[in-house]
């Protein structure tokens, strides 16, 4: 919830109490440099004990509610027909209005099944923007991902409220060029992750749905961040100010033929599912579920997580849950802007995104700007962010580098986890880093995996810039904390 203070300033206020905590650890700057060097300048290689604030992701790292934890205690572990499944199915019916449910172990497993059932070699899959795992699965099935975002989507200094919108004209052009038979479905990702958690509007979704239906193309909705997208519609779309998050979700769902999510985000658990009202789609997915995931009534998830997901799904319709991350992200981004730290605007869901090209204008894109910034943020603060730029891209078939549209360092704000003073600390260290940015240099790969290289790749700092940054930090902060 946003409250107005007596000085007129608005701040996000937590509508929950913290009753269980996890101890955090802040290493000295010397130790931080050692950890990132050993980890190949890749923040994925760090251990929790090396990290002060873990802002790598909001995936599976959100604070669960007391009711979610309580529900876990009564889970039913039956291999087939477990009661926990039916509780989740009821929640899916109530919150999303889908009658058929297929749990999977996490979001990418849903993408794998989608690819298996729908994508054939030579197909093209249009979408408002790709996500790393989505693209890999659809390409492994022989398809090509076509991103058809609007011109405003890649503008990191925008005021446009719906940068996640799909460009309908480009959709029409694709049908014209390839014919609708080559398009197994159109995918809409709620709050497009890789371009800064940017939502689409209901107006846009309606148009996408109309054109897709006219061409017999099913609409697949990636709802991993559905409550955030609904929250932004309430904040930003005319005519929706007085609708509840639940009413907005119902309307969003009325346009979706197939829904899937990573439950690790909006629903604050670890798992995922596919849901639909189309019996044929359900049957097509169902045959493959036990092959790749598990029996229909658990789909690779722990029954405890299924119980917690049933509760989390209902809880995400509470505006104070739906807005819990987005409001902190907005505060975080606004504080950064006050310090001239270049962030993606408007602030989106899931994270405060730093525009690495503007933060480190002296580093060429071939030297992995966002990766360098992410490593530098860790050295300067102990805070773990995630590279969302060229390191997160795949090379093309000939082995050439494919440069990312945007070079972002993503500082995720998991739901209900961090406090305002922790955000203030991050902003302060980012501000210090900005003043010392000339000390940060580029990176080069020393170990490069062939697929999703951002997870396990190892890089090195060109000209050993890490040590120079460390020395400057110790000069200004003494002990190194
Ligand atoms: N779709 C979206 C929009 C996502 O953000 C993610 C994951 C997935 C699908 C895949 O789901 O991880 O449960 O298999 N995003 C995480 C992130 C990994 O850090 O943003 P998953």
The CATH number given to whatever domain includes residue 264 is: 3.40.640.10
Alpha-carbon span 425 to 253, nearest angstrom: 39
What six digits make up the tokens of 380?
């300067």
Do 219 and 93 fall into the same domain?
yes
Contact indicator for 30, 44 with CB cutoff of 8 Å? no
Do 150 and 46 fall into the same domain?
no
CA distances from 290 to 54, 102, 261, 296, 469 (A): 34, 10, 19, 7, 51
Do 15 and 81 fall into the same domain?
no
Domain's final residue, options 285, 317, 349: 317
Helix (H) or strand (E) holding 247: helix 245-253
Domain's final residue, options 280, 300, 317: 317
Question: Could you tell me which residues come within 8 angstroms of residue 413 by beta carbon, excluding any fewer than 6 positions away?
Answer: 55, 58, 325, 328, 329, 332, 350, 351, 352, 423
Do 303 and 332 fall into the same domain?
no
Do 354 and 384 fall into the same domain?
yes
What six digits make up the tokens of 320?
């104070």
- Domain total for the chain? 2
> Which residue has a Cα nearest atom 16 of ligand 1?
59
Q: What is the pTM of this model?
A: 0.96
Question: Could you tell me which residues come within 8 angstroms of residue 384 by beta carbon, excluding any fewer than 6 positions away?
Answer: 43, 46, 51, 53, 54, 55, 56, 378
Do 373 and 353 fall into the same domain?
yes
Do 239 and 149 fall into the same domain?
yes
According to the model, what pLDDT value does residue 478 have? 84
Residue-number span of the structural domain to which 92 is assigned: 77-317
Do 195 and 275 fall into the same domain?
yes
According to the model, what pLDDT value does residue 480 have? 62
pLDDT along the chain (481 residues), means of 10: 96 95 96 97 98 98 98 97 98 98 98 98 98 96 97 96 98 98 98 96 98 98 98 98 98 98 97 98 98 98 98 98 97 98 97 98 98 98 97 94 96 97 98 98 97 96 97 88 67
Do 281 and 242 fall into the same domain?
yes
- Residue 68: inside a domain: no
Do 26 and 168 fall into the same domain?
no
Q: Which residues line ligand 1 (CB under 6 A)?
A: 57, 59, 106-108, 131, 133, 189, 193, 222, 224, 262, 264, 272
Contact indicator for 225, 265 with CB cutoff of 8 Å? yes
> Which residue has a Cα nearest atom 18 of ligand 1?
59
Q: Please state the φ and ψ torsions of residue 440, each to the nearest 5 degrees.
A: -85, 130
Contact indicator for 386, 412 with CB cutoff of 8 Å? yes
Cα torsion 326, 330, 331, 332 to 10°: value is 90
Active site residues: 79, 131-132, 222, 265, 388, 454
Alpha-carbon span 372 to 375, nearest angstrom: 5
Question: Could you tell me which residues come within 8 angstroms of residue 46 by beta carbon, excluding any fewer than 6 positions away?
Answer: 35, 36, 39, 378, 384
- Residue 66: inside a domain: no
Nearest ligand 1 atom, CA 192:
3
- Residue 419: inside a domain: yes
- Residue 151: inside a domain: yes
- Residue 215: inside a domain: yes
- Residue 69: inside a domain: no
> Which residue has a Cα nearest atom 19 of ligand 1?
57
Bridge-based pairing of strands 258-262 and 10-12 is unpaired
Do 81 and 45 fall into the same domain?
no
Do 279 and 351 fall into the same domain?
no
According to the model, what pLDDT value does residue 174 have? 98
Domain's final residue, options 271, 299, 317: 317
- Residue 63: inside a domain: no
Alpha-carbon span 23 to 48, nearest angstrom: 10
Alpha-carbon span 268 to 340, nearest angstrom: 33
């Amino acid at each position: 919830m946003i409250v107005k203070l007596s000085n007129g300033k608005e701040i996000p206020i937590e509508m929950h109490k913290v009753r269980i905590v996890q101890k955090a650890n802040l290493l000295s700057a010397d130790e931080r440099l050692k950890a990132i060097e050993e980890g190949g300048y890749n923040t994925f290689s760090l251990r929790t004990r090396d990290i002060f604030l873990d802002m790598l992701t909001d995936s599976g790292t959100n604070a669960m509610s007391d009711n979610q934890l309580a529900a876990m205690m009564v889970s039913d572990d039956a291999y087939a027909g477990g009661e926990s499944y039916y509780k989740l199915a009821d929640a899916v019916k109530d919150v999303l209005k889908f009658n058929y449910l297929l749990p999977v172990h996490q979001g990418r497993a849903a993408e794998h099944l989608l690819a298996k059932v729908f994508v054939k070699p030579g197909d093209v899959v249009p979408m408002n923007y790709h996500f790393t795992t989505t693209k890999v699965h659809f390409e492994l099935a022989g398809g090509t991902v076509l991103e058809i975002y609007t011109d405003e989507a890649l503008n990191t200094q925008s005021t446009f409220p719906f940068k996640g919108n799909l460009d309908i004209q480009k959709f029409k052009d694709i049908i014209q060029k390839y014919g609708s038979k080559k398009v197994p479905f159109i995918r809409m990702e709620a709050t497009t992750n890789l371009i800064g958690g940017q939502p689409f509007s209901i107006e846009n979704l309606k148009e996408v749905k109309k054109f897709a239906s006219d061409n017999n193309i099913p609409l697949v909705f990636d709802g991993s961040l559905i409550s955030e997208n609904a929250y932004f519609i309430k904040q930003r779309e005319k005519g929706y100010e007085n609708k509840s998050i639940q009413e907005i979700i119902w309307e969003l769902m009325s346009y979706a033929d197939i829904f899937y999510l990573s439950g690790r985000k909006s629903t604050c658990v670890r798992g995922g599912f596919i849901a639909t009202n189309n019996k044929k789609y359900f049957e097509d997915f169902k045959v493959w579920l036990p092959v790749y995931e598990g029996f229909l009534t658990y789909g690779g998830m722990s029954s405890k997580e299924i119980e917690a997901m049933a509760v989390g799904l209902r809880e995400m319709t509470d505006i104070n849950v739906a807005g819990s991350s987005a409001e902190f992200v907005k505060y975080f981004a606004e504080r950064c802007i006050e310090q001239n730290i270049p962030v993606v605007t408007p602030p989106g869901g899931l994270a405060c995104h730093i525009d690495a090209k503007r933060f480190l204008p002296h580093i060429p894109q071939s030297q992995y700007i966002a990766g360098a910034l992410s490593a530098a943020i860790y050295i300067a603060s102990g805070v773990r962010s995630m590279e969302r730029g060229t390191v997160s891209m795949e090379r093309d078939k000939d082995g050439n580098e494919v440069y990312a549209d945007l070079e972002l360092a993503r500082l995720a704000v998991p739901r209900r986890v961090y406090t305002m003073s922790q955000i203030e600390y991050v902003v302060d260290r980012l501000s210090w880093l900005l003043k010392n940015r000339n000390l940060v240099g580029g990176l080069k790969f020393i170990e490069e995996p062939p697929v999703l290289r951002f997870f396990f790749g190892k890089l090195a700092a060109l000209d050993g810039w890490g040590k120079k940054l460390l020395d400057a930090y110790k000069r200004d902060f003494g002990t190194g904390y």
